[in-house]
Amino acid sequence: MSRSSLVQAIYETALSCGFDNCGIIPVSALDGYKQRLQEREEAVPQSRPVYQDIEHLAAVRELYPWAKSVVVCITWLGAYRYPLSLQGLYGKAFLLSPDTVPDCEAHRQKLHFETWLAEQGLRFEGGETNAPARIIPLRYAAVAAGLGIFRKNNFFYGEKGSYYELEGYLIDQPCEYTHECRLRPCADSCTLCQKACRTKALSAPYTMNPLSCTSFWTTFGQGAVPPHLTADQFTTWLCGCDACQDVCPYNRHDWSQGKDFPGLQELEPLLQPETIVAASDAELCDKVIPKTDLHISPDQVQTLRTSALRILAYLKKRGDTPARKE
């Protein structure tokens, strides 16, 4: 197969496997990511320990010398309905990730794409999604491929907003299929995402302090509230936080519409904070931890209870109940 034929075949197969769009860039297009990390560290020096944990993403060519290209695929999660009772509790990208339901059709299609890559004789590595960083800086790669842009809240945005699942693969053949992105940038005057961030993690446009991020503390931070923040600033977020995305005018979407995500409706009662507190370790490990998309490990079930107890205390302080949480 010629190079041009291979490029076209990868793109068309990705779309036939259910991805909304696909781009391919040379591995060298990731070289600028190192500078981006350095800029983040310089802007918020106290964040250096966090960014040091992902420095390997800036060394893809050194770590994978056989890799020639990066295939980036995106899938819009807004095709699914998101239960009202879970809004303000869990990050949508966690609970709506097809990777958390191995027997669902979307996940099977992804595996079909990987099987197809292998059948073409391609050496590849990846298949990661929004799970914790593995080998590819996915948002950076997606922007480099012209699939979208960064907005002030630091998230990748495609044509339908920021609620996309991104997947990436390193392949051993030189290929390129980039798009011309025509999305308008954020207005200079817009500060909605910064105002919506109660912990002030969004200290400036296009930057952030991960050590002040609610999503960080409710996942990797094991539910702790650091000394420089208060429990009330976390409001009702149990795992993740969508505040800066939900307020964004480019994310206007009715989450009551769409198809049901596999198994989520049945799991909805267990995901409530009062139920999390009472659930056994076995039940949390079996049914809830997998829904965090690797952001909480099986040996950290107490993270869920810690956050759930914080939420219940917050609601009690407000004279509210879980059913009427904001």
Residues 97 and 163 in one domain: yes
Residues 106 and 247 in one domain: no
140 in a structural domain: yes
Q: What is the per-residue pLDDT for 324? A: 44
Q: Span 264-288, mean pLDDT?
A: 97
Residues 158 and 233 in one domain: no
Per the structure, the count of domains in the chain is: 2
Query: CB count, 10 Å around CB of 154?
Result: 18
**What is the tens place of the pLDDT at every residue in 23-36?**
999 999 999 999 99
Residues 102 and 201 in one domain: no
Q: Span 154-179, mean pLDDT?
A: 97
Q: Judge contact between 22 and 71, C-beta under 8 A.
A: yes
Residue 4: pLDDT band by 50, 70, 90 thresholds?
A: confident
pLDDT for residue 321 is more than 80: no
Q: What is the per-residue pLDDT for 128? A: 64
Please give the residue that has the higher pLDDT: either 319 or 249.
249
Which one, of 280, 25, 54, lies nearest residue 171 by Cα? 25
312 in a structural domain: yes
Cα angle 148, 154, 159 (rounded to 5 degrees) comes to 25
**What is the tens place of the pLDDT at every residue in 70-86?**
999 999 999 999 999 99
Angle, to 10 degrees, between the axis of helix 105-119 and the axis of helix 3-16? Answer: 160
Q: Which residues of 112-146 are buried (b: 16+ CB within 10 A; e: fewer)?
A: ebbebbeeeebebbbbbbbbeebbbbbbbbbbbbb
Q: Span 133-152, mean pLDDT?
A: 94
Domain with 122, as residue range(s), is 3-83+91-171
Residues 239 and 149 in one domain: no
pLDDT for residue 325 is more than 60: no
Q: Rounded to an integer, what is the distance from CA 4 to the centroid of its chain?
A: 31
Which one, of 197, 200, 184, 311, lies nearest residue 247 by Cα? 197
**What is the tens place of the pLDDT at every residue in 192-208?**
999 999 999 998 999 89
Residues 36 and 155 in one domain: yes
φ and ψ at 37, to 5 degrees?
Answer: -65, -45
Residues 21 and 143 in one domain: yes
pLDDT for residue 13 is more than 70: yes
Residues 7 and 136 in one domain: yes
Per the prediction, the chain carries an average pLDDT of: 94
Q: Span 137-163, mean pLDDT?
A: 97
Q: What is the per-residue pLDDT for 129? A: 59
Among candidate residues 142, 171, 200, the one where a domain is terminated: 171
Residue 326: pLDDT band by 50, 70, 90 thresholds?
A: very low
145 in a structural domain: yes
181 in a structural domain: no
pLDDT for residue 268 is more than 50: yes
Q: Span 91-97, mean pLDDT?
A: 96
pLDDT for residue 248 is more than 50: yes
Residues near 157 by beta carbon (within 8 Å), at least 6 away in sequence: 148, 149, 150, 151, 183, 250
Q: Span 36-53, mean pLDDT?
A: 89
Q: Span 297-315, mean pLDDT?
A: 97
Q: Judge contact between 15 and 74, C-beta under 8 A.
A: no
Tell me the CB-side half-sphere exposure of residue 137, using CA atoms within 13 A. Answer: 27
User: What share of the chain in percent tops pLDDT 90?
Assistant: 85
Q: What is the per-residue pLDDT for 151? A: 98
Chain length of the chain = 326
Q: What is the per-residue pLDDT for 147? A: 98
Q: Which residues of 21-46 are buried (b: 16+ CB within 10 A; e: fewer)?
A: bbbbbbbebbeebeebbeebbeebee
Residues 20 and 146 in one domain: yes
3-class state of residue 183 by DSSP: coil
The sign of the dihedral angle between the CA atoms of 274, 237, 320, 231 is positive
Q: What is the per-residue pLDDT for 132? A: 58
178 in a structural domain: no
Q: What is the per-residue pLDDT for 294? A: 87
Please report which residue ranges of the chain form alpha helices under DSSP H: 3-16, 33-43, 48-52, 60-63, 92-95, 105-119, 138-144, 192-196, 214-217, 243-246, 264-267, 273-278, 281-283, 301-317
Residues 161 and 35 in one domain: yes
The sign of the dihedral angle between the CA atoms of 89, 94, 98, 103 is negative
184 in a structural domain: no
- 125: tokens are 């590595």
**What is the tens place of the pLDDT at every residue in 107-141?**
899 999 999 999 999 999 998 655 555 899 999 99
182 in a structural domain: no
Residues 96 and 216 in one domain: no
185 in a structural domain: no
- Residue 148 CA to residue 156 CA, distance in Å, equals 7
User: What share of the chain in percent tops pLDDT 70?
Assistant: 96
Residues 237 and 282 in one domain: yes
Query: CB count, 10 Å around CB of 165?
Result: 23
pLDDT for residue 215 is more than 90: yes
